[in-house]
Amino acid sequence: MKLLGLLLLLTSAHSFAAPKAHKQKIRKIEFETKQLEDGVHWMPESITVTQGEVVQFIVKHTIPGKDEHGFFIPELKIKTVVKRGKTEKITKEIPTTLPAGEYKVLCDKHEGTHKPATLVVKEMGAT
Ligand SMILES: [Cu+2]
């Protein structure tokens, strides 16, 4: 029973240490490279997020061709190199100051040939 008490104490201490994540579930969003006829794409083609939402981008590159790609969303200040076989995880809060609209998920390493995906940002409170 002493052990259980200690565990409960540790668990509550942990939640105090991370007030930002309190009660908010982090949604995992996967992106991966996919070869289509017109070039390499970030897939899925489109992802919708909401202002103020905390998301974790899980980005993978497993296809042949270039050894690495860029995962670049300027408006979210995300710029990461994704090497083949090495998953990158980026946790971000979608700023409430970022206007609702459509933004591009780019590859800054192969602009033009690497087709971007679309990040749709919805207004907070919209359903
Ligand atoms: Cu690329």
Q: Domain locations in the chain?
A: 22-122
CA of 56 to the centre of ligand 1 (A): 20
Q: Residue 101, by phi and psi: left (phi above 0), alpha (psi -120 to 50) or beta?
A: left
Correct CATH for 22-122 of 2.60.98.20, 2.60.40.420, 1.10.1740.10, 3.40.50.620:
2.60.40.420
Using the mean position of ligand 1's atoms as its centre, give its distance from the Cα of residue 96 in Å.
29
Q: Which pLDDT does position 112 carry in this prediction?
A: 87
Burial of 31 (0-12, 13-18, 19+ CB in 10 A): buried
Show pLDDT as tens, one digit a residue, over the chain (127 residues): 455 554 444 444 444 544 554 566 899 999 999 999 999 999 999 999 999 999 999 999 999 999 999 999 999 999 999 999 999 999 999 999 999 999 999 999 999 899 999 999 999 986 6
- With 0.85 as the threshold, say if the pTM is over it: no
Q: What separation in Å is there between the alpha carbon of 4 and the centre of ligand 1?
A: 49
CA-based diameter of the chain, in Å?
A: 62
Residue 24: which residues within 8 A CB-CB, separation 6 or more? 54
Q: Assign 52 to helix, strand or coil.
A: coil
